[in-house]
């Protein structure tokens, strides 16, 4: 489908980026399992390499199955383009890569998936980049942390391990005022529940391994560009505004306008970093994404019921679900994610760590895995696993406690999920 933006979300999650295969009529997007694509002639090859014509060269850069997913995710998020990557973590690096250079920093919320805190605290330093962690609820603190070398702001819309919602309205306004791109990890909320670009975000990133695929089958990621940021205005983004030595001097922004970031991500980012999504993964995600809205509605409905039930249990100290009226993020959650607060949250137990161990060992419907966003209900003790590499201070800032369990509520019958928790909690 060429023009899909005016169609509704349910229609686009099934049709955007895809039409019957022109060669065979295959109704589903085939898995184009090909490393390379034949050029018509030398001039055709040169035009493709010059970005004068869009087409397929080599699957590290572009592949028809992956392109269909890119178009679909971009359409659902309301962006102009997307770059699919080998994982959510790869997508985070790919979102920063065109913006950063040695000595530059990104101002980051501490309420993030533990792996992201580690990636930003340690790994990116090897590129000469750094992260400044600041509480995004303290907008003056965020403003104060931004300096001449800041090239982006980064946060999660609904933060893993759940229960916290970033005030994207406030942070988006600040980013626009200061001319700094806001990058939102929209993995937990998905484009169905949260629209970061409507709050002023420039880019969104996703771990497509989670709700977008929705069945725990493949690892992948995506960076989506709103197409609204002026990469040339401040002179701070030379990879996009100045002649790019790594691409025969092309000025991406001048040549490609709103598609500059996406083309740069593919032509330079994927070409040189090689964090490419494979067509099998793209196929599974395309299949899963067709039911995204239906699943998210069920995840939210079930999570609300389970969170309410947990809140009433005598052994439970606290439930962090932002969809609960008792949550301090309830009103904000309704503003930022009006259709629901997803299926991820934590609950803490009065019995401490030992009680957590007992519950995790006793559940049978829940799977004890390091994942979220599956149709199946999942559970993990975050402090000893997903957020283990964090310092105690970082864990506290991320909302991870020794006596809390993270749950990703699936789309089974809510009564069965509650029964399983009931027998495990005793
Ligand atoms: C919110 C969030 N962002 C990013 C990631 C990283 O994604 P991936 O595992 O696909 O690299 C995760 C993984 O759990 C996550 O929960």
User: Residues 360-383: pLDDT tens digits?
Assistant: 999 999 999 999 999 999 999 988
Q: Ligand 1 atom closest to Cα of 221?
A: 10
CA of 191 to the centre of ligand 1 (A): 16
pLDDT confidence band for 390 (50 / 70 / 90): confident
Q: How does pLDDT run across 118-177, given as a tens digit for each residue?
A: 999 999 999 999 999 999 999 999 999 999 999 999 999 999 997 899 999 999 999 999
Contact 76, 212 (CB under 8 A): no
- Long-range CB contacts (< 8 A, 24+ apart) of 62-66? 62/266, 63/32, 63/34, 63/279, 63/282, 64/29, 64/30, 64/32, 64/279, 65/29, 65/30, 65/31, 65/32, 65/279, 65/282, 65/283, 65/286, 66/276, 66/277, 66/278, 66/279, 66/282
Contact 238, 216 (CB under 8 A): no
Please work out whether the CB of residue 187 comes within 6 Å of at least one atom of ligand 1: yes
* Mean pLDDT, residues 194-201 taken together: 98
Q: How does pLDDT run across 171-196, given as a tens digit for each residue?
A: 999 999 999 999 999 999 999 999 99
Please work out whether the CB of residue 88 comes within 6 Å of at least one atom of ligand 1: yes
pLDDT confidence band for 3 (50 / 70 / 90): low
Percentage of the chain lying above the pLDDT 70 cut: 99
Token pair listed for 399: 């909302």
**How many residues in the chain?**
426
pLDDT confidence band for 72 (50 / 70 / 90): very high
Q: How does pLDDT run across 227-283, given as a tens digit for each residue?
A: 999 999 999 999 999 999 999 999 999 999 999 999 999 999 999 999 999 999 999
Name the residue with the closest Cα to ligand 1, atom 2: 113
DSSP 214-277: -SS----EEEEE-S---TTSSS--HHHHS-BGGGTTB-HHHHHGGGHHHHHIIIIIIHHH--BP
- Can you give the pLDDT at residue 386? 84
- Can you give the pLDDT at residue 5? 54
Query: What CA–CA distance (Å, rounded) separates 228 from 34?
Result: 34
pLDDT of 39 higher than 60: yes
Please work out whether the CB of residue 285 comes within 6 Å of at least one atom of ligand 1: no
pLDDT of 1 higher than 60: no
Domains along the chain? 9-288 (3.40.640.10), 293-425 (3.90.1150.10)
Strands 150-156 vs 182-185: parallel, antiparallel or unpaired: parallel
Token pair listed for 14: 């099934």
- Can you give the pLDDT at residue 2? 45
- Long-range CB contacts (< 8 A, 24+ apart) of 172-175? 172/196, 172/199, 172/200, 172/201, 173/200, 174/139, 174/142, 174/143, 175/200, 175/201, 175/202
pLDDT of 288 higher than 90: yes
Nearest Cα to 87, choosing from 55, 56, 119, 128? 119
- Can you give the pLDDT at residue 388? 85
Query: What CA–CA distance (Å, rounded) separates 220 from 210?
Result: 9
pTM of this structure: 0.97
- Can you give the pLDDT at residue 384? 87
Token pair listed for 176: 């626009």
Cis peptide bond upstream of 161, omega within 30: yes
CA of 295 to the centre of ligand 1 (A): 19
Q: How does pLDDT run across 157-166, given as a tens digit for each residue?
A: 999 997 899 9
Query: Given the structure tokens 């803490």, which residue do they identify?
Result: 348
Query: What CA–CA distance (Å, rounded) separates 178 from 48?
Result: 36
Percentage of the chain lying above the pLDDT 90 cut: 92
CA of 372 to the centre of ligand 1 (A): 9
286 has which bridge partners?
Answer: none
pLDDT of 300 higher than 90: yes
Please work out whether the CB of residue 113 comes within 6 Å of at least one atom of ligand 1: yes
Task: Quickly count: other Cβ atoms within 10 Å of residue 28's Cβ.
Answer: 12
Query: What CA–CA distance (Å, rounded) separates 20 from 28?
Result: 7
CA of 37 to the centre of ligand 1 (A): 31
Please work out whether the CB of residue 219 comes within 6 Å of at least one atom of ligand 1: yes
CA of 89 to the centre of ligand 1 (A): 6
* Mean pLDDT, residues 57-77 taken together: 98
Q: What's the chain's average pLDDT?
A: 96
For 332, phi and psi rounded to 5 degrees? Answer: -65, -40
Query: What CA–CA distance (Å, rounded) separates 60 from 96?
Result: 19
């Amino acid at each position: 489908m060429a023009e899909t933006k005016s169609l509704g979300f349910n229609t686009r999650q099934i049709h955007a980026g895809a039409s019957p295969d022109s060669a065979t009529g295959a109704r589903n997007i085939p898995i184009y399992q090909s490393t390379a694509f034949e050029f018509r002639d030398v001039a055709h090859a040169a035009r493709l390499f010059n970005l004068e014509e869009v087409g397929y060269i080599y699957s590290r850069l572009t592949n028809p199955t992956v392109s269909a997913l890119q178009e679909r995710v971009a359409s659902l998020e309301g962006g102009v383009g997307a770059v699919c990557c080998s994982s959510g973590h790869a997508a985070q690096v790919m979102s920063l890569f065109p913006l950063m250079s040695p000595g530059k920093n990104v101002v980051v919320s501490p309420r993030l998936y533990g792996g992201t805190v580690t990636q930003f605290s340690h790994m990116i330093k090897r590129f000469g980049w750094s992260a400044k962690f600041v509480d995004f609820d303290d907008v003056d603190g965020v403003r104060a942390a931004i300096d001449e070398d800041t090239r982006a702001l980064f946060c999660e819309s609904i933060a893993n391990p759940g229960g916290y919602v970033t005030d994207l309205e406030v942070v988006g306004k600040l980013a626009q005022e200061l001319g700094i791109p806001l990058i939102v990890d929209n993995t937990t909320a998905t484009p169905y529940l949260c629209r970061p670009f409507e709050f002023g975000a420039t880019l969104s990133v996703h771990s497509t391994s989670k709700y977008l695929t929705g069945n725990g089958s493949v690892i992948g990621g995506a960076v989506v560009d709103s197409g609204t940021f002026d990469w040339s205005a401040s002179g701070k983004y030379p990879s996009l505004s100045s002649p790019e030595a790594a691409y025969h001097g092309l000025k991406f922004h001048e040549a490609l306008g709103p598609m500059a970031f996406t083309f740069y991500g593919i032509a330079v980012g994927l070409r040189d970093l090689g964090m490419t999504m494979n067509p099998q993964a793209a196929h599974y995600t395309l299949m899963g994404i067709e039911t995204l809205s239906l699943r998210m509605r069920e995840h939210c409905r079930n999570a609300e019921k389970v969170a309410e039930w947990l809140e009433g249990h005598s052994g439970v100290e606290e439930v962090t679900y932002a969809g609960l009226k008792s949550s301090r993020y309830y009103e904000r959650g309704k503003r930022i994610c009006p259709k629901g607060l997803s299926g991820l949250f934590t609950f803490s137990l009065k019995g401490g760590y030992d009680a957590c161990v007992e519950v995790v060992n006793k559940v049978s419907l829940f799977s004890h895995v390091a994942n979220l966003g599956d149709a199946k209900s999942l559970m993990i003790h975050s402090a000893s696993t997903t957020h283990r590499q964090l310092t105690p201070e970082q864990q506290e800032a991320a909302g991870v406690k020794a006596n809390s369990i993270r749950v990703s509520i699936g789309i089974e019958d809510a009564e069965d999920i509650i029964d399983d928790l009931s027998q495990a909690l005793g």
